[in-house]
Structure 1
Amino acid sequence: MSNAAQLSPAVDKPDHVADDLVYDFDFYADPGLIERGHARAVEVSKEAPPIFWTPRQGGHWIIRGHKAVFDVSRDTDKFSNGPISYEELQEILKSLPEDYPKPLIPTPITLDPPHHTMFRLPLQRAFSPKAMKKIEGDIRTLAADLIEKYKPQGGCEFMGSIAEPLPVTVFLKIFGLPIEKQDEYRALVKEHLANTDFEPSAVQERLRKVAAVMHDTIMERKDNPQDDVISLLWSAEFDGQPATIHDLENYCVMIFVAGLDTVMNGMGIGANHLATHPELQAELRANPDKVPAATEEILRRYTFTLPPRFVKEDMEFQGVTMKKGEKAVLLLPTADLDPNEFDSPEEFNLARESVHIAFGAGPHRCLGSHLARIELNILYEEMLARLPEFRLNPDHPVQYHGGPVWGPEELHLLW
């Protein structure tokens, strides 16, 4: 992704936005972000107000400070996860002709409690710590096989060689989708996440492409259930009614996009930090029991997700005037760099005890956090155990991508 060509045009500031709350930051294509990754997040954490308005991407709020992010994440009365309410959505669905395609609504992530709670419940069991613990051995075997495959080559492009196939293969097995189609799936997800056209018709077109690529598998699992998430969702009931194909498509477009992209970016960010800190590699090789602590500190120092919220009513929030319908992006990377919450936040501190917000907070806290932690811990353990000291390839500088999930576009390692 190039930077200058992708930078969105600036729009005029609304009258209710104070001048001192404006900070120019395009979280998709900011040049500093594309070139320097989280170094740009450090700058934003120092320069921008805890809540600021950016003229990029159509103009919207960004919630930067830790307290502000935490409060917004938990306040579903004032901030919604979707642009319209569940009740409004039902009215729209009722008004459509029977033969008209129903709009796809990623579920449960775009819903608020209590409906979010109802639709999230089946997934809670599927992604529980107990369920994830059962597949830990399979994840370790896959990680070891991938590392050993590239070890004799003395280096690799890490994102495509290891960071992508590891979590994607694991996810496809859990979800119940054919592993041999992972290249097709990943290309579709990258296209979806890179697109900044948020007109409802454009969004629906993208979601329908995602649903279409899974349709045959979804319908096959209805008649021939297996031990996977799609089969589990077919067995669920909502308000006493059995799941419908519309319910399954709503679930699948959300889980598909999240499951095929998020963790691989975290893996790339972690590998990048280890590659640029040989002393940390040495410490962790000597003390493998410290890997989980390193995983948590990497997650804090390089938090990489930016979930959106939508203002539900005209209001004053922490001294800032907001209007109904405005978008507010939770800048989790800067929340975890807030000096009001963390001592010396730029410093990587293996002994840090403060709790990060990398997986969010409140009812929408990341459903896959247990799986992500297992995958990250295993990857770092296996890399440190099987590879000699690894470093960045100076002939291939790291370039990053922005958007709702940040991470390296490519990461070339040598050992």
Structure 2
Amino acid sequence: MTQVALTPAVPKPDHVVDSVVYDFDMFGDPGLLADPHVRIMDLVKNAPSVFWTPRNGGHWMLTSHAANFNASRDTETFSSQFIPPEKLAMLKAMMPPGSPHIPIAVPINLDPPDHGKYRMPLQRVFSPKAIEMLREDIRTLARELLNKVKADGGCEFVAAVAEPLPVQVFLKMLGLPLERSDEYRELVRAHLADSNLDPRKMIMKMQRVAASMRDTMLERKENPQNDILSMLWKIEVDGKPTTLEDMENYGVLLFIAGLDTVINGMGLGVRHLAQHPELQAQLRNNPALASDVTEEMLRRYTFTVPPRIMAKDVDFMGVQLKKGDKVMLYLPAADLDAKEYSNPDQFNLKREGTPHIAFNAGPHRCLGSHLARVELQVLYEEMVKIIPEFRLDPAKPAVFHGGHVVGIHSVNLLW
């Protein structure tokens, strides 16, 4: 198990009542790092559905499906703009001439209506039709990676398959060089592992990400190719042509979102398959089940934790939240809520009723959901086709992590 030091507990604000305080460190909780979704199931059963934790500077956690669904759709109250426009303008005014641009991850760190203006140009690139055209390329890469380890009788699955598959697909889509993938992944890991939401630190992290892409962005302006960076140079937002600042704003979002999240979905899903040979057999005998397997894996092992900041004081589901409070949409808990899903800890291919919200809800619903689904479906199909019945290596337990993406560092398989 990974050891992560718990952050110091901070004093409880006056507006937080004792009954909604629950001590939970979403980055370093020992139970979370031992087996995340077991601990999250415990959280759903024993913690308030809206609670305040003193860890990581003090913030709210939403664990019920209703709390997450309602907050996700109420963008006027639960804001995604951690650096308000007026504060950003003040920071820019304080910076010396010639200072680097302050990137803002768009559209994810914007609220409507600006969010929609910046999201619209990306809709076509990530549409079901556009992503479906990539399916066979994704399948070819999945087969190549799996065949490379087949004769070895086992592998560390994250490093061998779960990381290179979506990373290579996305770097190619975006237009970034594959040979720099290790450098890019290290930047993303450092970004997501940091629990500090201080605006100055957030700015510095995003400036580092933007700087890593700047040379490729400028090259694509002069020599456009068939990739997202080239496409973004051709769009207009509010009738204005794209600037380098716009490119960096888009780039930091696509970079961070595209190079990490689905890796964890693959690792968690394949770990479940390794624990359940009967499910492997079902899928091997009927590959058409891959879509149902993907959806139930996404529900059972939801992994993203979007942050929000309160835009105003509100009574939310009987709890007083104040302007400026930080809030985490704990989607992994929402999808294990027994009020919405009978026996939520059980994997059920025939599950009906409430759809999962692994990709969030409302205006900020994940732009890359179609891509993630296709990658997961193809992986599950090819995994059982190419690799004989596989199991977990008892000598090398899985290593997990918490944070804004609840996931898995390594999972060792044998076959």
TM-score normalised to the size of structure 1? 0.97
Q: State the 1:195 CA deviation.
A: 2.1
The number of residue pairs the alignment matches comes to 414
CA shift digits 1:157-195 (9 cap, x unpaired) = 000000000000000010000111111111111122112
* 8 Å contact from structure 1 (residues 83, 325) kept in 2: no
For 1:146, what is the secondary structure of its paired residue? Answer: helix
Letter in 1 for 2:263: M
Q: 2:383 maps to what in 1?
A: 383
For 1:57, what is the secondary structure of its paired residue? Answer: coil
* 8 Å contact from structure 1 (residues 127, 370) kept in 2: yes
For 2:124, what is the secondary structure of its paired residue? Answer: helix
For 2:298, what is the secondary structure of its paired residue? Answer: helix
- The unaligned stretches of length 5 or more in structure 2 are none
Q: 2:371 maps to what in 1?
A: 371
CA distance in 2, matches of 1:258, 1:151: 30
1:225-264 alignment to 2 at 5 Å? 225-264=224-263
Q: 2:8 maps to what in 1?
A: 9
* 8 Å contact from structure 2 (residues 11, 54) kept in 1: yes
Letter in 2 for 1:164: E
Q: 1:184 maps to what in 2?
A: 183
Q: State the 1:98 CA deviation.
A: 5.2
CA distance in 1, matches of 2:144, 2:35: 31
Alpha carbons of 1:131 and 1:94: their partners in 2 closer, same or farther (altered >3 Å)?
A: farther
For 1:52, what is the secondary structure of its paired residue? Answer: strand
CA distance in 2, matches of 1:394, 1:90: 55
* 8 Å contact from structure 2 (residues 307, 326) kept in 1: yes
CA shift digits 1:293-323 (9 cap, x unpaired) = 0110010011000001110011211111011
Letter in 2 for 1:114: P
CA distance in 2, matches of 1:124, 1:364: 12
1:138 and 2:137 correspond: yes
Q: 1:321 maps to what in 2?
A: 320
For 1:6, what is the secondary structure of its paired residue? Answer: coil
Q: 2:101 maps to what in 1?
A: 102
1:8-407 alignment to 2 at 5 Å? 8-86=7-85, 89=88, 93=92, 99-354=98-353, 355-407=355-407
* 8 Å contact from structure 1 (residues 85, 111) kept in 2: no
What's the C-alpha RMSD, in Å, of the aligned pairs? 1.4
TM-score normalised to the size of structure 2? 0.97
* 8 Å contact from structure 1 (residues 86, 115) kept in 2: no
Alpha carbons of 1:76 and 1:265: their partners in 2 closer, same or farther (altered >3 Å)?
A: same
1:410 and 2:410 correspond: yes
Q: State the 1:6 CA deviation.
A: 2.3
CA shift digits 1:345-383 (9 cap, x unpaired) = 111111002310000000000000000000000000000
* 8 Å contact from structure 1 (residues 64, 330) kept in 2: yes
For 1:61, what is the secondary structure of its paired residue? Answer: strand
For 1:283, what is the secondary structure of its paired residue? Answer: helix
CA shift digits 1:174-228 (9 cap, x unpaired) = 0000111111111111122112333322222221111111111000011111111
* 8 Å contact from structure 2 (residues 2, 400) kept in 1: no
* 8 Å contact from structure 1 (residues 392, 411) kept in 2: yes
CA distance in 2, matches of 1:58, 1:289: 46
Q: State the 1:240 CA deviation.
A: 1.3
* 8 Å contact from structure 1 (residues 62, 331) kept in 2: yes
* 8 Å contact from structure 1 (residues 154, 414) kept in 2: yes
For 1:205, what is the secondary structure of its paired residue? Answer: helix
- The unaligned stretches of length 5 or more in structure 1 are none
For 1:153, what is the secondary structure of its paired residue? Answer: coil
- Percent of residue pairs bearing the same amino acid type: 55
